[in-house]
Structure formats: structure tokens, C-alpha cells
A and B are shown apart, each in its own frame.
Chain A
Amino acid sequence: MLIFSVFKTLTDQQVTVELKNDLSITGVLKSVDQFLNIRLDNIKVLDEARHPHMMAVKNCFIRGSVVRYVQLPSEHVDTQLLEDATRRESLAAVKR
């Protein structure tokens, strides 16, 4: 749930999504849902020469379950806040 919130704060930022089929796609994060499905606008596939399959694609929906990594713009992530929030969440999980 925490990561979902983090992604929500990052909408309209440029991110790079690496998929489990080794495709990397850069684009503007438009929205995200509870499964961490991601919608990207204005996309660009890294190594376009090797992957011309998506030449005519401008925006896409990526299934959360096939995402390996998401590269975030570090200047838009408050790591201190995130650290505190994860600690709070794990503490709450222990108490329960």
C-alpha cells in the first residue's frame, strides 16, 4: 500500500520501467492502481533499433506483475519520509 502511495505522488514524472522480458520503456507516469499496473504516456523503448515492435505506440498500460524495476527520479522521492513510513508500517505489522 505504501509503494502504491509513493507511485501516486510520482504521477506526471518521467520514469523508466524495466519489464521481466528485458524490455525497458521510458515515459511519463500517468496513473497507477492497487496492482501497481502502470500507465505511461509519450513512451520510448530503450534500444529502439532492436525493438521496432512499438514504433506506433504513444501510450501504454503495463501489467504490474511483469515489472522488474521502476527507475524513479530521485529528486522527487523523499527518501527520509519513505524510510520513516516503512519503519512505521513494519512496526504496526509487528504489533498486530
Chain B
Amino acid sequence: MSSLQGYVDRRVILILQDGRVIVGVMVGFDQKSNVVLSESKERVYSMDEGVEEIPLGLYLVKGDMIVLIGELDDAVDQAVDLGTIHAEPIPPIRY
């Protein structure tokens, strides 16, 4: 089983099917890769402005919606000034 166990209590980045990006601390998961995040924030990317972070709090994300879960390297992540980053939003999933 390619389990999510290694990500518990870590800061993770979630990419969702609609292209949204959410960062937070993974506090739990289950068989269907449903995931609970604490202290979560959505990162909104755009070309015109720097990255905007919207606090979401405790979030449960349905496994169906998840594209990718990445472990954040805190040192690297904190070193980046999000306000200076301009990027296209991640495209939504197309079947």
C-alpha cells in the first residue's frame, strides 16, 4: 500500500481537481485518501498579483478531489516570499 502514513503531522501541499492549492498540516487520512488538514490555507496564484494566502482552518478534503499530496520542505517554503511569485493557476483536471 502506497500509504499516506509518512505525511501525518507534516506540512503538506494539496493540489485539487479544480486546480486549487491548499497547504496545511496533515492530521489524518483514510483508505479512500480522504484527508484532514489543520491550519490550512489556500494559495491563490495569478499572473497579475503575488500569491494570496486565504486561511481556511480545519479542513476535510474528499479523496476524490485530490490530485496530488506533496510534503513541504519547511526551510525552502519559508525562504520563499510568496508575494513576489507570479504564476498561472494550476489547470483543472480534464478527462
Contacts and interface: CB of A to CB of B under 8 A. Distances in A.
B2 A33 contact: yes
Given A20-B93, A37-B33, A58 B67 contact: no
A28 interface: no
A70 interface: no
B90 A21 contact: yes
Given A21-B19, A66-B17, 16 more contacts: A19-B93, A20-B67, A21-B15, A21-B92, A22-B91, A23-B15, A23-B90, A25-B68, A33-B1, A55-B77, A56-B74, A59-B70, A60-B69, A61-B68, A61-B69, A65-B64
Given A53-B15, A53-B21, A56-B80, A37 B2 contact: yes
A25 B3 CA distance: 19
Interface residues of A, number: 31
Nearest to B89: A53
A51 interface: yes
Given A37-B33, A62-B67, A66-B67, A55 B80 contact: yes
Interface of B: 1-4, 7, 13, 15, 17, 19, 21, 33, 43, 45, 63-64, 66-74, 76-77, 80, 85, 87-88, 90-95
Given A53-B43, A56-B76, A66 B93 contact: yes
Contacts, number: 94
Nearest to A31: B2
Contact of B87 (A22, A43, A53, A60): A53
A51 B13 CA distance: 14
